[in-house]
Amino acid sequence: MSGLLEGRSAVVTGAAQGIGLAIATALAEHGARVTLADLDGDKAAAAAAGIGPQARGVACDVTSEDSVAELIAGAAAAYDGLDVLVNNAGITRDASLRKMTLADFQAVVTVHLQGTWLALRAASEVMREQKRGSIVNISSMSGKVGNPGQTNYSAAKAGIVGMTKAAAKELAHHGVRVNAIQPGLIRTPMTEAMSAEAYAATEATIPMRRAGEPAEIANVVAFLASDLSSYMTGSVLEVSGGRGM
Ligand code: NAD
């Protein structure tokens, strides 16, 4: 299936590590030229160098309107337009309602909702002119079922679903598709921060009895980014080993 994304220009946010890096790697393996964007620009550049000459790494804070505008314009200039955007950058600030601060709530909502919206808006401007594009937003099963300790994160990830569907309806007749993925428990630096007990307890609730690997999310992104999913827009795909179905 190499060549699935031959010559396409893709941007992945939060791509210096974890799921974002796996997504950027998979898109490049399928032939795309990929811009890896991350708060940590040096790490994004190193990650891009690891992928090869068809990738570039840049610093970007998805919460900043100027930074996102620069990201999208730079990617479009470097790789002749923009065909794929993956909104993947994310953070957690888990705490019970009794302990969560307003700052914890605002930080999570700002990165996920404002960040996704800013990149969606900027990328769709380019894509509607081209009359072609695929945007993939990374939500979470936490946004479907709600996780205790994640009132901020669950709200933000559910919000991404509504944003995906609204944008899909606005952009469909311009040839731009917008879909979302809800990963379950995936082994990354984000989840390695969980206690061993919490991790094992979560794994035990998964019908497939294991956490997913970042590449198992990346493969679904490659499908949504490519013409294999040409009649799909506004869809929300659960990639969770059966958890939360
Ligand atoms: P991670 O913490 O390993 O990586 C996230 C990356 O996003 C980091 O490189 C970080 O620097 C970057 N980032 C954070 N804030 C940013 C900002 N303002 N601007 C640009 N980049 C920023 O996380 P991950 O586990 O790879 O998660 C990736 C995405 O998948 C997130 O949206 C996360 O919510 C979602 N997700 C993860 C899981 C999981 O189990 N790991 C499950 C469901 C959804």
Residue 188's domain comprises: 9-239
Task: Output the residue whose Cα is nearest ligand 1's atom 39.
Answer: 186
In this prediction, residue 193 carries a pLDDT of 85
- Given this model, what pLDDT does residue 1 score? 53
Q: Whose CA is nearest to atom 44 of ligand 1?
A: 140
Residues contacting residue 41 through CB under 8 Å, at least 6 positions apart: 57, 58, 59, 60
Pocket, ligand 1, Cβ cutoff 6 A: 13-14, 16-20, 38-40, 60-63, 88-91, 111, 115, 138, 140, 183, 185-186, 188-191
Q: What is the pLDDT of residues 30-88, one digit of tens each?
A: 999 999 999 999 999 999 999 999 999 999 999 999 999 999 999 999 999 999 999 99
Which of 79, 153, 199, 231 is flagged as catalytic?
A: 153
- From ligand 1's centre to the CA of 17, what distance in Å? 8
pLDDT of residue 194: 86
Residue 136 lies in a domain: yes
Q: For the chain, what percent of residues have pLDDT higher than 70?
A: 99
Task: Please answer whether residues 177 and 223 qualify as being in contact, where contact means their C-beta atoms are separated by less than 8 angstroms.
Answer: no
Encoded amino acid at 227, one letter? D
DSSP 8-state assignment for residue 88: -
Q: From 15, 100, 102, 13, select the one nearest 64 (Cα to Cα).
A: 13
Short-list 216, 60, 224, CA closest to 136? 224
**Average pLDDT rounded to a whole number, residues 143-150:** 96
Quick one: pLDDT at residue 162?
99
Mean predicted lDDT score pLDDT of the chain: 97
214 domain-assigned: yes
Judge whether 199 counts as a catalytic residue.
no
pLDDT at 120: 99
pLDDT band with cut points at 50, 70 and 90 for residue 2: low
Query: Distance from the CA of 91 to the center of ligand 1, in angstroms?
Result: 5
Residue 244 included in any domain? no
- CA distance linking residue 114 with residue 127, whole number of Å: 20
- Residue 24 sits in a domain of what CATH number? 3.40.50.720
Residue 109 lies in a domain: yes
Residue 150 is assigned to a structural domain of this protein: yes
Task: Give the mutation target among 188, 203, 210, 236 for probing the ligand 1 site: most ligand atoms within 8 A of CB.
Answer: 188
Tell me the mean pLDDT in the region 20-30. Answer: 98
Ramachandran area for residue 39 (φ above 0: left; ψ -120 to 50: alpha; else beta): alpha
Q: What pLDDT digit, counting tens, does each position of 94-134 carry?
A: 999 999 999 999 999 999 999 999 999 999 999 999 999 99
User: What atom in ligand 1 is closest to the CA of residue 112?
Assistant: 32
Domain total of the chain: 1
Give the Å distance between the CA of 212 and the centre of ligand 1: 15
pLDDT at residue 50 in the model:
98
Please report whether residue 3 resides in a domain.
no
User: What's the pLDDT score for residue 164?
Assistant: 99
Strand arrangement, sheet containing 236-239: 55-59, 33-38, 9-13, 84-87, 133-138, 176-183, 236-239
pLDDT tens digits, 197-215: 989 998 999 999 999 999 9
Is residue 2 in a domain? no
User: Given ligand 1 and candidates 11, 13, 23, 39, which is best to mutate, with the most ligand atoms within 8 Å of its CB?
Assistant: 39
| Assigned domain for 118 exists | yes
Question: Stretch 135-152: mean pLDDT, rounded?
Answer: 98
